[in-house]
Amino acid sequence: MDKEKFLKLWFMNLPIKDELKIKLLTIGIGLDEIYEMNRKDLMDLGLNINEADEVLNVKKREKEIYDQVKFLLDNKLTLVLFNDDGYPMKLKNIYDPPAGLFIKGNLIDYANTLAIVGSRKATNYGLTVAYKFSRDISRYGIKIVSGLAKGIDTAAHLGCLDADGVTIGVLGNGFKFIYPISNKEVINRIAIKGAVLTEFLPDEKPFPQNFPRRNRIISGLADFVLVVEATDRSGSLITARLALEQGKDVFAVPGNIFSINSVGTNNLIKDGAKLVSNIEDILSEYGISLKNNLYFGYNELELTIINILKIGAITIEELLERIDMEANEVLKTIGKLECSGIIKRAFGNYITLND
For position 1, what pLDDT does the model report? 60
For position 99, what pLDDT does the model report? 98
Judged by phi (left if over 0) then psi (alpha if -120 to 50, else beta), residue 151 lies in left
For position 296, what pLDDT does the model report? 62
Q: Is the pLDDT of residue 292 over 70?
A: no
Contacts of 196 (CB under 8 A, 6+ apart): 103, 104, 105, 148, 168, 169, 170, 171, 187, 190
Sheet (strand 314-315) strand order: 314-315, 350-353, 343-345
CA atoms of 108 and 166, how far apart (whole Å): 9
CA atoms of 272 and 56, how far apart (whole Å): 50
User: 3-class DSSP state for residue 250?
Assistant: strand
pLDDT tens string 52-100? 999 999 999 999 999 999 999 999 999 999 999 999 999 999 999 999 9
pLDDT tens string 224-254? 999 999 999 999 999 999 999 999 999 999 9
Question: What H or E segment, with its residue span, contains residue 78?
Answer: strand 77-81
Q: Is the pLDDT of residue 147 over 70?
A: yes
Considering only 142-146, 268-272, 279-283, which range has the smallest mean pLDDT?
279-283
- 114, 145 in Cβ contact below 8 A? yes
**DSSP code for 197:** E
Q: How many CB atoms lie within 10 A of CB 108?
A: 16
State pTM to two decimals: 0.83
For CA atoms 229, 234, 239, 244, the dihedral sign is: positive
CA atoms of 340 and 192, how far apart (whole Å): 21
pLDDT tens string 254-273? 999 999 999 999 999 999 99
**DSSP code for 124:** H
Q: Minimal CA–CA distance to 8: which of 97, 63, 75, 84?
A: 84
CA atoms of 28 and 23, how far apart (whole Å): 10
Mean pLDDT over each residue of the chain, to the nearest integer = 93
Pairing of strands 350-353, 314-315: antiparallel
End-to-end CA distance of the chain: 59
More confident of the two residues 300 and 41: 41
